[in-house]
Structure 1
Amino acid sequence: MKLKRLRIENFKRFRAPLELGDFADGLNLFVAPNEAGKSTVAEAIRAAFFERYKSKSVSGLRPWSDSSATPSVEIDFELGGKTARFSKAFLGKKRCQLNIDGRHLDGTEAENHLGELLGFSFAGSGGTSPRHMGIPGLLWIKQGTSHELAQAVGFASDQLRNALGDSLGELAATAGDDVIKAVEIERNQLLTPATEAPRGVYAEALKRRSELEEELEVLRAEIEAYRTAVDRLATLRRDHGRDGEAQPWLALREQLAQAQTKLDDATGLADRRAAQELLLKQATTQVVAVRQQLQLMERDEEALALREANLETAQDKLIKAQGLLQAWEPRHSEATLASTKARERLVAARQVAAWQAQEKSVADLMTRVQALQRSQSQAQLKQEELTQLQAEALSLAMPSVELKRLREGTEHLRTAQAKLDAVSTALEFELQPGAKVRVAGAEMNGAERLTVVTRTGIDIEGVGRITVLPGGEDLQSLIGDRDRQRDELAVLLQSLGVANLAAAEARERLHAQRVAEAKAATSVLAAHAPKGLAALEADVAALSIKLTEAKQTQETMVLAVGAETASVPVSQAESDESSARTALDDASAQLNEAKLAVSEANALVSAAQDELAAARATLNDPLRADKKAAASHALTDALAHETTTRADVDALAEQLRTLNVSILQQDVERFERSAKQLEAAHGLRAGEINRLEAELEAKGALGLEEVAADKQRELDQVRRRCAELERRAKALSHLWKLLTEKRSALARRLRAPLQRHLNHYLQILFPGSSIEVSEDLSPGRITRIGTNGAETGEFEELSVGAREQMGVVARLAYADLLREAAKPTLLILDDALVHTDKDRLDQMKRVLYDAASRHQILVFSCHPQAWQDLGVTPRELSHTTKPSAATGGGAASE
């Protein structure tokens, strides 16, 4: 299929006719900026073929703000060597006509015929959707959809399979597929499609088998427990009878009484040993106390020499501390004087800085007051201007509703007058110079044309009078309508105070201008007085008061320092004062440390003197010798008492070791527990015998072994059913996989022509690459040579730009396949490669130029500089009534 001419009118942005002719058989490049109508031209082609001419859902084809327009498209094309003209009009005066090879078709018949020829269909109701567009929907790429391929291929799959030949068509619709489908259905009844897990009756059989196995296991456990309980009951009865006769707990209680007697005897020895150990502890404490008393008396003699040495050391420290104090006292006085002078200089420097800061503050306030006063003056002027503009805008304002009525009334009067002029009588005059003719009392000159709607007299000097009587059935009605519209318009103009619509619109524009000027004045006023004129006046007054107070403060400030002091910066004065203060702090700290050292040395000397006096007094005590002799005798008596008591404790301990009290206590506890346990066990055994008898009686009535036999027979039957279903499921799965693999291998052989065309273009775009064709005839896995070697991935995993390029390449391959099958082809690329970089775009130009030798291709783009080397002359869209010449690359056939 090759387009020859295209004409569209009243179609979206093309209100006036747009005609394009002399389409090249190969490449056709249309360039224009955004919103110039490129996509509209492509949409007009799609609408002409895809949309029913009677459709009510195509109102979007009308130009904006023209609800009465009739969008129309007319296309001249060649199909199968036959010339054709197809025209269609929507919405208003609906029509559809097709002239092809001398045959004329109208309406729905023409639409359906084209659908059969080009491979598309129509929706039952509403607008045509992509699923109905078939081959054209695949090859005519809409803006922004070049990377979306799978859905378009699916909608055109029937035509593509037909193009691949009868074999693939048979493969898609033969009994072989029915067999595969039947096998798959049978398999899917037993296994899940994805994981081949059991399902349906197979899963139910497996579930029942598991349930029976669990139930049988429970029954077997219960039977085993029953048998075990019978054996245990016999054992319990035997043991219970034996213990009832022997009563072994009585013998244990006799042994308990004997063990308790031995324990009581041992406990008496332990109490005596505890008393002797307490006496031994007291004797040991007495020995230690006497020895410490004797040691203290010996240490008093040693302490005298130590106290004399301590006093001498303390006196040396006192002398050193007094010398250090005498050294720091004059230094501290000097630091105090230097700090005082530095502080006085700092006060003077701060006074100077304060006066200078006040002087700067006065200057700053004066500047701010002057600036605010200027703003106040400008704001007052702008306020007056704004008031004037707002008054003018208010006087010029007209209600938008009334203005709309005025426009509608003027339009209605114009329409009424046009209708009246159409049916009124027209008079045309071509008078000779000097001829005197009067029409309705008005003199006519030269060549003029008049329309009359009422009885009108024509007076010709020297000839007489001619009376014209206009006729027509609707004339009076039209005159009445015109007069009514004129009267209503006159009343409306009078109420608005304007002469006509032009004056009203001029007044509206003047009102808008005044509103804009008022808005600008408001902005300027806001810039000068953001908070309002009153607030600005208040700010000026407040700042003026602050300026006056600042000047008064400056006048009251007195510089109490000389020029030399005034020249010292505050920072230097602060640094000097800080250094002097630091030096004074250091001197004060050293002086205090020296005073503290003298005080501590005096205290040490005094304490050493007191300790030496006390030591001498202790040694000079006249009773000291008697006290020392008494302590020696007391130590001898205490040692003797300690030895006697220790011997008694050791003797008692030896007797207790032979008795072993802890073992005797354990014997008492053991015999007591054993007796209680044997007696309790005898009672518990009786209770358990009663419980087992009741349980065995209940279980014996259930017939557990008979129930288990029934379950075993059912389980054997279910297991045979599971094995049968398992064999069937595996056989069906194996058969389905085998049939699918064979069918896939056959499909790959049958898709070889399409594979060949895809590889042809792929080698131009990606040399050394390969691509697989999926079963639905869409591009599948693609393998390319990258920086790390061969890389393989699915088509949908490519970037948007790469999918965009592969989408165009795939459509060209489909077109080649259709051409070989003698099917019509036409490719439309509406900004189809917008995500393609320069290098890839250069390769795509090669691809398109090659394809143009076999197909007609329309390329629409808003980047003319990107297509300068395509090898065709770009064409711009413009309103014209004559075809424009164009050249294209290659001579294409359908």
Structure 2
Amino acid sequence: MSLKIRRVALTNFRKFRDPFVLDGLTDGLNVIIEPNETGKSTLLEAMRAAFFIRHNTANRLARSYAPHGEAVAPQIEIDFEARGEDWHVSKRFLKSASVEVRGPNGRAQGEDAEAQLQALLGARRDTSQAGDAAAHGALGLLWVGQAQALDVTPPGEIVRDSVRATLEAEVGTIMGGAAYQRVRPRIDSQFADYWTNTGRPSGRQSAARTEQEALERVATEAAARLAALEQGFADLEAARARLKLLDRDLADTTDAERRKALVGQIDVARSAAQLRDTRRAEQGRLADQVKGLQDLTVRLAEARKAVSDTAAALASARDKRSGLEEELAGTRERAGTARDRLAMARDTRRAAHAALDAATRLVAARTRQAEIARARQRHAELLPLEAELTAARALGATVIAASVIKALEDRERAVDKARAAVEAGATRVEFAGDVSGVEIDGIPATPGDRTLSRETRIRLGGAEVIIRPPAGLQSAETTLANARDDLAATLADHGVASVADARARNEAARDAVANGRTIEARIVAVTPAVPSLGIAAGASAVKSFVAGLSERADAEAGQEEPDLAALTVAAADTDSALARAEGTDETAAAQLRELEARNAPLMVQAAGAERDAVNAVAQLAALEAKPEVARLEEALSAARQHEAEALVRLQDAERAANAHDVAAIERQIGVLDKRADVARTQRIDLEKAIAGLEARIEAEGGKGLADRAAVAREEADAAAANLARVTQEADTLKLLRDTLENARAETSRTFVGPVARRARRYIERLLPGADPNFGDDLGLTSIARGGPGENCGDLSKGTQEQLAVLTRLAFADMLLEQGMPVSLILDDPLVYSDDTRLDLMTEILTDAATRMQVILLTCRDRAFRHLGNRITLTGAP
């Protein structure tokens, strides 16, 4: 049963800001041919929104319905016919969203209206963000948007189920039929009690598992409390035993007596340690005294040796330096002479190059004056050429376009044609002899011919002759007058008196254009670039340069021409002389630097040796001035003897101090005190623990924990058995459901044959001898043409689009058999089809329009203007 759209009204829907109405749609083929950007695709989107998009949704798709930049409410109204009855749907989005459906049984609004639309059109609720065509049922497959038919896609689940129901009788199976529909919902209902749609445990299965886990936790907790009570009795006995041991240890007096003895020993140990420290300090002082005398002896010997060594080094440095002084003086004199000659050569070269530069500037100035004179001459030649070029361009601009000339010629021919028509239909009268007394329309006649184009009265004495020309002559005269007026208006618009004048003007203009090109070439020839004056190529550069020149005379015209060649040779000679002087100076300077480099370390060495000798003498004098130097050996011997005696006393004190170690005694006392403190702390902790255990046992002992643990364990075991039973039931239901689904899928494959047979009658008209192959999802997968099958994705875009339309027609026929509301809408179809296939496809669509309403939305006037009912988007923006 065909769904027939009768009227569509839009307000504030995307580009249709103003109210827009489309009507005049017929039952068969309707063609809407409009240019791009006139709203064809928007019209299809509006129909989808009215039928399938919920009115109260605010997703991205619904928000896109509002015109760009405007906060208004898109509204759609559609009158249509379905199942042989008239329906009306009105839907408003975003602001004050609403929906109303009117049908043979009255009105429905809100959710009831949405449900009524879904039931009527065989669709389901669309919850997607961008619109799901699969949820739109048969119309989701058959309403094809722009570029959506470029790929061959399988139908949605709703269409597949409808097609299966149609083909069940052909394939001889009940899968999907009444028996299957009675069994499958019951299984699905029971399956939903145990599993989610994605196959995850839920419902009774989850409840049984949750109950088993809860009871298992209760049983585990009861067993843990019972075990904790039993462990409390054991911990109480152990704590009481440890308390007895601590009481016995605290009652023992051995550690107290040992501590008392250690306290008595510590005073003796402290006195011995103090004596040892005193002996150690005394021994250290004497050792430092011995070391100081030994250092003084060594330093005195080293100072005397340094005085001797530095005197010898100073004498050697002075001997080495005396032999180099005479050679250094001669080298310095030669270096001075070389510098004087170099300065003279530089002055001579500077004077020669200055003379050469002055002569070069003079020659360049004279060359520039010559170039300036030539530039002025070219400027004088340029001005008349530019005047000629301006005149030629002005004349060339008067050319009349060829289309205008053709129009003038056409109008002139129209005048000639109209004149010939008038002359052919007019009446000719000739007057000869004596014409006195003859009047034409009250005017005296004259001899000769006269052409009569309208009713004329000729009086001959008392008689009157009435001449009536043919009736069509008046219109011929009107045509002639109009043609003359058109010709005259066109000639006046272009300022010419006749077509011949227009042609003559064009000839003169073309000659002027050719002459202008010649003048432009001459201007380019007389305006070359002059780099020496900074003039670029072109007339503007020459004129700008000449305009900036002054009229003063050449100041250097009377000077004598310089001899550049002689000056250049003289400058080159001075360059050579300067080079020789520089070489001599560099050699003398290098020799001087070499001698100075050899002399510098000798000077440094002599100065250092002199300084070292003075320092060594001063240091020796300072050491010898010390009072202990006079009896240094005797003082050193006596200090060593005192040091040995102090060392003996220190060893005796250390042996006494080691026998009574204060730190060791204090550590022993600390150990005894710590042992007592720990024992007392442990006794307090044990008493606290014993009291806690006794209180816990007293509190828990009367609660019957053993009985509770046993009951909880029995309940947990029962819950585990129930979980196993429920799990087995769930697995059984899942296996049964999967088995039914596999059987259904297997049966679905048997539907492919009937679908392929129905589609083949369309496809063979397009591709003779082709055998279509469909997949389990009823989607076209390949085409076999006398050989291996070709995947649809490997075919050309044009063939894919044609096959997509043909398979949709096949499904539409099967849905018609089911009584489903079917309508075919194609937006910009067959864009890649050649002329032959386009004609064939239009024949197929015309034939399909005898069974269902077909609407074509296209911008291709030439390809579709001969088809069906032509509709214009009147009022479209």
TM-score (norm. length: structure 2): 0.49
